[in-house]
A = this chain, B = another copy of it.
Amino acid sequence: MSSSPQPTPDPGRTGASELIADALAAVHEAFRDLDEGTVATYIPELATADRSLFGVALAGVTGSIYTAGDADSPFTIQSLSKPFVFALALMDRGLAEVLEHVGAEPSGEGFNSIRLDPATGRPPNPMVNAGAIVTTSLVRGDSEEERFARILDLLGAFAGRPLDVDGRVYVSESETGDRNRAIAYLMHSAGSLTADVEATLDTYFRQCSVLVTARDLAVMSATLANGGVNPVTGERVVDEVVTEWVLAVMATSGMYDYAGEWLLRAGLPAKSGVLGGLVSVGVGQFGLGLFSPPLDARGNSVRSVAAAQEISRQFDLHLMHRPDRDVPTLYRSTRADRLRQLAHRTPSQLRRLRDLGSAISVRAVQGTVEFAAAETILRSVDELPSPLPSGERWLILDLHRTSRVVTLGAQLLRGLVARLQGQGVHVVVVDPFERGLLPGVDQELTTFEDAQRWCEDRLLEAARAA
């Protein structure tokens, strides 16, 4: 077990964040002695893998990395390159062009399935060898050298460090890759692979021979978790929408013929590799990288699958888990707040404000403003006190406790503002973060007190004018 970066010893040091490394270490400990499965032998270079190796690494979208076990043992990336090169192909060609060459459907078959779509000639998805060969061919490059250089750069950008090829494995792959050759020629014949077959295979074999560690895989998947920005280096590696496409395909097809049950049990997009590697993504949270050579009958790493499922269970990150709503969307100001506000007014102002008071409505919002919260806000203003005889009505939207306003929430709130203003309601927003979420409002202020006073001042002005 190790944690990174290593903080310096210090009298004030609590080492609080070691809790995470401890949790990871506990999972590693729990499955270290699970000695089942067999080591892949499909190329000679692989069969020598030490079956006791077991590394676990977690990289947060915060850029922190935690590891346990053999997280720095290098091995060739093999199938784990597939989602990342798929991302590169999507960057280079766009979704529509990529989908002309490779499907996005789970195949219900193993990683080296040879079945193409009878109508389109496309391989089923980019997570099986056939589809991965096609996505490799879709990476742009004026030469095969350039194409591979771009792939190697991309994998390095995902990992946050330059990566190298294991030359012996590459040669071994190339010499024994007859089934992949068969698949590639079949796709060339069917029209889904249009690039030169041998050159594409050569690039594919080199891509599969890139050396990584569990730590690298954690950072790579954390980059997917983080919307395409490497959380360690801060580099944007791919567009955010590309990460969504990649993760969706990982969710349905990343674990071969265990994909469905994996999503049911672990609830996270993941991809496994023939050498015992596994990446899994807690969207917006972290990336996991695991490595342990012995494989189960479906070709997934026994220890990696067990550990990843346990982490998923402990971290409660199932994609289908309904976010608990701990606090109500709307809250009321406390009496103490109210008293503080009134302290700023003269007695006569207070008297007039009491008469006009119902003209100022307040909706104080907290939590995330997604569909359900926005709908709650909308419903809460379906009826407001009737306007003053002068026609004046005020609404303060206090967003200072909202942690997040999703696109849809912002849209609905903007629609609300427009509708209310159309009905003569003045809208004032409170946002200490000055996020400018609702550009058209009458006023945006950073504290509720300021907003309250601003509205009252306008009211008093209007009353004076009347």
Contact = CB atoms under 8 A, between A and B. Distances in A.
B179 A189 contact: yes
Contacts of A245: 264, 320
Contacts of A315: 371, 407-408
Contacts of A181: 181-182, 185, 189, 197
A204 to B, nearest CB: 14
Nearest to A319: B319
Given A179-B186, A253-B260, A316 B407 contact: yes
A60 B371 contact: yes
**Residue among A105, A179, A367 with the highest chain B CB neighbour number at 10 A:** A105
Contact of A372 (B286, B403, B416): B286
A264 B95 CA distance: 10
Contact of A14 (B249, B267, B371, B425): B425
Nearest to A10: B383
B189 A375 contact: no
A263 B259 contact: no
Given A226-B322, A327-B433, A382-B13, A20 B412 contact: yes
A168 interface: no
Interface string A397-434: 00001111111100110011001100101000000110
Interface residues of A, number: 120
A425 B382 CA distance: 49
B104 A107 contact: no
A140 B302 CA distance: 35
Interface stretch (A69-77, A157-165, A209-217, A277-285): A277-285
A324 interface: yes
A354 interface: no
A372 B62 contact: yes
Contacts of A17: 375, 378-379, 382
A15 B368 contact: no
A355 interface: no
Contact of A16 (B60, B186, B407, B416): B416
Nearest to A269: B320
B13 A435 contact: no
A273 interface: no
Contacts of A321: 244, 283
Contacts of A320: 243-245, 247-248, 251, 269, 283
Contacts of A326: 402-405, 433, 435
Contacts of A184: 182
A382 B16 contact: yes
B244 A14 contact: no
A455 to B, nearest CB: 17
A178 interface: yes
A284 B267 CA distance: 15
A412 B22 CA distance: 11
Contacts of A318: 244, 248
Nearest to A201: B185
Contacts of A78: none
A462 interface: no
A321 B241 CA distance: 8
Interface in A298-340: 314-327, 334, 336, 340
Contact of A249 (B197, B264, B314, B367): B264
10 closest cross-chain pairs (CB), A and B: A367-B403, A182-B186, A182-B185, A178-B189, A179-B189, A181-B185, A247-B320, A106-B106, A316-B407, A105-B260
